[in-house]
Structure 1
């Protein structure tokens, strides 16, 4: 059921309302009042509207922004980092267990995944969800990472932190250094590896999206992030773990995810999805219940997959010169545009590549940009960005253009039919005499 687009559901509801409004009883009632011609005209208009709704549902609703109930949210392209939707995405929030994405990423990049870890008393006694580790138990780091992501094991998170940094406090310091220096986010501060509540343990939806984008470039992390079931064999617990992220089980295009909850954070959710070579990352934070978190995520994913069309910018495309340097694209990149909103590329004051749709400006992946001194640069070719946009406009029929076209066709059809009906000669009523 998660595969049904929310746009399609709303269209079908609209069609049902029209059908109910023109049922047989209504028509008979109108005929009795001598208005038999009016229902016919309504039927013609209704048929046109229904045909348009059935044949072109995206045309009617694609431009509507998603209705997200979570307090903050963001949807980005997983390859470039282009922001497709955001709601209060830079607001500081409590992340809860989506913190474990950072912990898992640091473990994977430590290159110690085959090392065994001795479980401490502190790990054994931690609160919240666990994989029921026993004090003194020896567990491979890779297994701890899987248990932490699949079953949200807080005990596994403590064991990972102590293995990598010696203590939870030292690991928290390493987390903050890592996300700032390696990932490049500035609005996060972590105090523990698992996400249990601490007033100083904060992040933003935007930062979590960027951290997840960075993490998904690591193939080992990516494979673990998408594990649906895990056979767990421990000293005190043998079972099959089922991933807590429900969309990973029910939604075909979801490739990974992590959920979280503490009372202060509400329900938090990070989700990655891929469809037809388009990769999306959705983050929702502080939903009032888990159903809202999942529905918001589905809404964002459907919006991203159904609403945007790709535009390719070629490797070597030159951008504006800044501070004596000429910047150009290091590789072909695909960005996404909605309707006729052209995506403009530029370099900001910090030397970062930015995309701008007119409504949303995004700092893109730094690896997509190269630079050289202007003195050593060869002939410029700034036409590639412009030509890419023009080629897209020429080769595709935008949603807004389709809407205007089909509305015009519908109106024209109604006018022709109305004129034809107007020329029909009315039938004269025969007078009849009734005996008294």
Structure 2
């Protein structure tokens, strides 16, 4: 009896100290997370599964390189040749060992930046695009605000080495990663596990620093970036996909690599175990009181696995998807199919039916014609031979 009582109190204690999230009609237990700031987002629908201090200002360290990479990919010609400066070769931290005066394509610099976290590659990109680091940072921040939609980010350099004013949030990093992953070139480099590297004075194989991509592979991993400076602690961005479910996990300021990878795996497990993303395909026709509307683009929405949803459409084509507890999952304006198009489609259908009927009517007349022909020949034969 004493053992049962102790077990009950133990379970009660666990439930008191483990955070939970209300989903549907029951509670999902959130893993015990050590990182200071965290967010877990579905990449297609944008649904947030879990967050902890996600809007708190943090130091990102080398996660900054995600921003530098997508900015370079979108705003420059990756085949441009760059000439490496002495300044780039003297930067601290991880490098791809560029040499002063070395000529190298911008694409190769982006690869060295993301795969091997090369700070020298970051400086070379900044000087190529902005003339110097300061001007590059100004342009980068404008891009992040105006085109990516970040609200609480201010980057002072292209690589993430410490600057007290070089800040962002877990939420902004998730938005940034979601945006960048829509670009196929970025996707390809971000998911690269190893790359043969032939520099002017350094030949090697670059390996991703992200353990879940190579050393401790996790099923469905599609990319990742690591980061560390003393002031930021361990930082990590991870993307993974299974079926239609695309997960982005941002974990900031963990005290050890062990903690940050454990946090990330637990959060990925949590998301894949409990949720699914559904899609309504582009072009699907939805009818409301004899009016036809078309879905303008693929609609992604994320729910608890097996959860029933409600779909509503207004007279003007505003389409809403709600969860079982009336949470708005997605809203989008559908394209109305004009009457002329509907009538044209109807006329086309009628015309086809008429053509088919004409063909069928002629087809049914063939036996009659054959019968008459046979009778005529028979009649002539009788008349001839009497």
1:334 paired residue number: 300
Distance 1:360 1:189, change over 3 A: farther
Shift of 1:361: 8.2
Q: After superposition, what is the alpha-carbon deviation per residue over 1:180-222, rounded to whole angstroms, capped at 9, x for unaligned? A: 1111111111110000111111111111111111111110110
2:115 paired residue number: 150
**Structure 2 CA distance for aligned equivalents of residues 345 and 262 of structure 1:** 48
| Match status 1:300 vs 2:249 | no
Shift of 1:260: 0.2
1:130 paired residue number: 95
Over aligned residues, Cα RMSD in angstroms? 3.2
**Structure 1 CA distance for aligned equivalents of residues 328 and 255 of structure 2:** 28
Q: 1:221 aligns with which of 177, 183, 186?
A: 186
Q: Which moved more, 1:354-363 or 1:143-152?
A: 354-363
Shift of 1:83: 1.0
| Match status 1:266 vs 2:233 | yes
Q: After superposition, what is the alpha-carbon deviation per residue over 1:353-382, rounded to whole angstroms, capped at 9, x for unaligned? A: 998869998998xxx844789xx999xxxx
Shift of 1:289: 0.7
The structure number with the bigger radius of gyration is 2
**Structure 2 CA distance for aligned equivalents of residues 360 and 95 of structure 1:** 36
Native 8 Å contact 1:84 1:360 kept in 2 = no
TM-score, normalising length from structure 2? Answer: 0.70
Distance 1:97 1:83, change over 3 A: same
Distance 1:345 1:264, change over 3 A: farther
Higher normalized strand content (fraction of residues) = 2
Distance 1:309 1:220, change over 3 A: closer
Shift of 1:332: 3.6
2:130 paired residue number: 165
Shift of 1:79: 1.1
2:198 paired residue number: 233
Q: Counterparts in 2 of 1:64-213, with a 5 A limit?
A: 64-213=29-178
User: SS of the counterpart of 1:63?
Assistant: strand
User: SS of the counterpart of 2:28?
Assistant: coil
TM-score, normalising length from structure 1? Answer: 0.62
Native 8 Å contact 2:244 2:278 kept in 1 = no
Native 8 Å contact 1:335 1:343 kept in 2 = no
- Structure 1's unaligned 5+ residue stretches are 1-20, 22-60, 319-326, 347-352, 379-436
- Structure 2's unaligned 5+ residue stretches are 4-25, 287-292, 313-318, 340-386
Q: After superposition, what is the alpha-carbon deviation per residue over 1:93-141, rounded to whole angstroms, capped at 9, x for unaligned? A: 1100000000010111124111111111110100111111111111111
Native 8 Å contact 1:82 1:355 kept in 2 = no
